[in-house]
Amino acid sequence: MTRGGSRVGNPAGPLYKENAMSEPTYPVYRILARWIEDMKPNYNAAPWQTEGVPAGKIRNSTSHTIMFREEPTMDGVFEDAERWWAQFQPTRNGAADAIIIAIFVERETWCLGWFNHWTFDVGQTDQEALASFEVFVARKKDFNHQNPRIVNGLTVPAHVLMGAEDRWRWSGKADDDQDTPPPCRCKWCKEQGRIRINH
Residues that bind Zn ion (CB under 5 A): 184, 186, 189, 196
Judged by beta carbon, residue 51 or residue 176, the one nearer Zn ion is 176
Residue 66 beta carbon to Zn ion: minimum distance, rounded to whole angstroms:
17
| Cβ atoms of 160 and 151 closer than 8 Å | no
Residue 174 beta carbon to Zn ion: minimum distance, rounded to whole angstroms:
9
SS3 110: coil
Residue 19 beta carbon to Zn ion: minimum distance, rounded to whole angstroms:
24
Those residues whose C-beta lies under 8 Å from the C-beta of residue 82, and which sit 6 or more positions away, are: 1, 100
Residue 48 beta carbon to Zn ion: minimum distance, rounded to whole angstroms:
37
Judged by beta carbon, residue 149 or residue 187, the one nearer Zn ion is 187
- What letter would DSSP give residue 159? S
Judged by beta carbon, residue 103 or residue 184, the one nearer Zn ion is 184
| Cβ atoms of 158 and 167 closer than 8 Å | no
The count of C-alpha atoms lying within 13 angstroms of the C-alpha of 33, restricted to the half-sphere facing its C-beta, is 23
Round to whole Å and give the CA distance between 28 and 7.
Answer: 10
Residue 60 beta carbon to Zn ion: minimum distance, rounded to whole angstroms:
30
User: Is the preceding peptide bond at 183 cis, omega within 30 degrees of 0?
Assistant: yes
Q: What is the b/e burial string over 153-175, where b = at least 16 CB atoms within 10 angstroms of the residue's CB?
A: eeeebebebeebeeeeebbbbee
Judged by beta carbon, residue 196 or residue 199, the one nearer Zn ion is 196
Judged by beta carbon, residue 27 or residue 172, the one nearer Zn ion is 172
